[in-house]
Structure 1
Amino acid sequence: MTLLTLGKQAKIASYSLSQASTRLKNELLMAMAEAIEAKTDLILQANQQDLTHAVDNGIDDTMLDRLRLTVERIQAMSDGIRQVASLADPIGEVDKMWKNEDNLTIGKRRVPLGVIGIIYESRPNVTTDAAALCFKTGNAVILRGGKEAFYSNQLLVTILQEVLTESPLSAHSIQFVSDTSRETARELMQLNQYLDVLIPRGGANLIKTVLATATVPVIETGTGNCHIYVDKAAQLEMARDIVVNAKCQRPSVCNSAETLLVHETIAAEFLPLVAAGLAPFNVELRGDEQTRRYLPEAILANEEDWGTEFLDFILAIKIVGSTDEAILHINTYNTKHSEAIISDNYFDTQKFLDHVDAAAVYVNASTRFTDGFAFGFGAEIGISTQKLHARGPMGLHELTSTKYIIYGDGQIRR
């Protein structure tokens, strides 16, 4: 099926979906969650096909972790759909209403974006997350996953469409691009006559390609070169636990920490402490010259390391002389995703919150919490690192636009 056909079908489906009641959408979302659970064994079989092909093609362990589904991860996918169903429906909400000097009553109402294209890489959970969020907000969606997860994604969409087939709404509300070629991806990026917005979700190369190629409006969900700054007023054991969690709990995701900044007055005490915490995970340390005085086992970091999203058990470490220096380093090298300061000094934490340019800025907590589910949004469509039209984890509200509704009683403009 051609992309033009998918686009036309999605556009038609979006008209009825945009008018669907919250009750109907929620009932169908709950049915989708149940269907995913009921077909767990089939999903695992399809995922094993993807894993086998990925291993044969030399895919690294980081990407394999993103690709792999387990019973627990499939359950989490279903739970995410249910949570989306439980959330308030933003469609039809009136943000505000007022009267102007001509006695017109003007309101600002939430409406769907229309047809959303999602282009993403190897994580199959993106399929259900994106489908559920788009469906709840009355948006038709065209999903284009990577070839690494082809069988998993195709089956997941088929399961969701089977639920819709038994409903008053069109199965074309959720569609899947079965052609994983670059040519088709490029065509999707330029499907202006049908797509209202395109959201890429993946690595730096994918994001860069979409931004350079797309003629459709794009919401950039960027890479995550995330930092943790341990200030001189930090509780060191707490700081160690946060760094270990942010780096090691799941290093293959965008909200894991990639660079550790440490205030020079605590470096001698803290660096051996955090290195011991990271040791069981065999984390490779890459430090500046000062860091290597305290951690001689660290590899000498180079300029490239400061700007790299490793997505692996690798951590760059730099010693800084002040909070201002930490902020300057972060704003120079970060991807505007998630940054954290560990400190009990109120003024330094407030300076960090005010001056670090990122979608999510933490005080005394792991960057791993930058996630739609953790923020209470249910599933997420991605984490936007741009400033228009959304920023940070994107939930239901971020998949809507507004229209003005105006009531009059015969006014004409003079």
Structure 2
Amino acid sequence: MADKIKENKDTPNINHIAFQNQLRGIVDDIKAHQSNSPLKKMFGKKNVNPHVNGSVIAEAVPDNKEAAKLVDKLHKEPSDSVSRLQLVNTVMGASSAHSLATNRDMMLQAAIPIYLGDVTQTYLMVVVHAYKNYHEKLMNLHKQNMMSIRSSVLKNVNMSGIDVSDEDQDDTNIKNTESMMTEIQVSEALIERTDEILNNIKTKMSTALSREEIEEVSSTGKAAASFFGGGGDDSQNTQKQNMVISKSVQVLSMLSPVPLLQGAGLDLSKTLQSVDNKIPYPLVMEGRVHQQVLKYFLLRIESGDRTARDNMAPTYNKALVSFRKAMKLVSKTAPKKADLPVLTEFANLTFYGFIHRDLMRFTKDGVLGLVKLGKEAADAAVTVDESFAPLQKRIEKSLNQLDAAKQAQAEA
């Protein structure tokens, strides 16, 4: 099974894994900048990554004094998430006709606080709005470029809402029609989902998470030494860990449907695994994010990106690894109610693998063994809660189908 994710180089404008890696690099630069002396910060301003102080988007509004003021604040304290979001809102509100590059950079700027570990309802809503604006701009530009193409490829493209009066000569750096079509269709699908995502953030997100909280409970955080050091109250420590994990579960449910933010979700789950490697929930959270990545690659396949097929197997394998690790931390012989998320989600994951077994490139014995493991998990779940009996029956049916196929092959 392949183990490396490779995005389509012909669709750079929708390659969100690349965006995630870029954001991680920006966060590393922010941390490096913060470690500089005040003197070096002052005189090294010209050499700083323009994403660190936000000047990359402030350049789009050169006469805006408020934007310039916020850039100065971010240069002194680039982890100031409030100032960064104010800068994004200032630039976003200054014009509705920003270039594609500026829209992309606003999207990245809005995501930086999330990658730093600061997640609030407001921050997420700003990110999703910037994410939506970027994809709308991209889609609009592609459709404008294709208006002159009198071809049957346009028959399935919704050409409504195109601003044909837009006179800027913005370039998407995509020249072939097939790649344009893929970027249009993926963008349309992502845009369609944003209203539901925004509504969920608005109505279901009742908590916020800060990087200070994460650092406090992390074994690698700045406060770890004092927090876990001698003389600490174990029960208080456990209570704080549980609170942060509970917050993280809700936060991750908001991050994971947004491809741009999935990297932050994976980073958060990895950090929580370092807090306590004997609890399954961080592994479950990691597995859930990988499952959302699977949905994204499936969307790309459905949108005509043939190369995305190669990413299904390694991504599924990552989800499987996370859940199999989590399964080792729960009991299948005497499961508790708290074990149900692990048992049922692992069982569902094996069923998903069965349904998409061709995409996952399983051997016949491989998928059979996997579904057997799923059956064991479903059987254990039913002993705790009989409402999971339909899941158990689906997996039993899948297992019977595989067994019958194997027997028929042996008799042939």
TM-score by length of 1: 0.25
Structure number with the higher strand fraction is 1
Structure number with the higher helix fraction is 2
TM-score by length of 2: 0.25
RCO higher in structure (CA 8 A, sep ≥6): 1
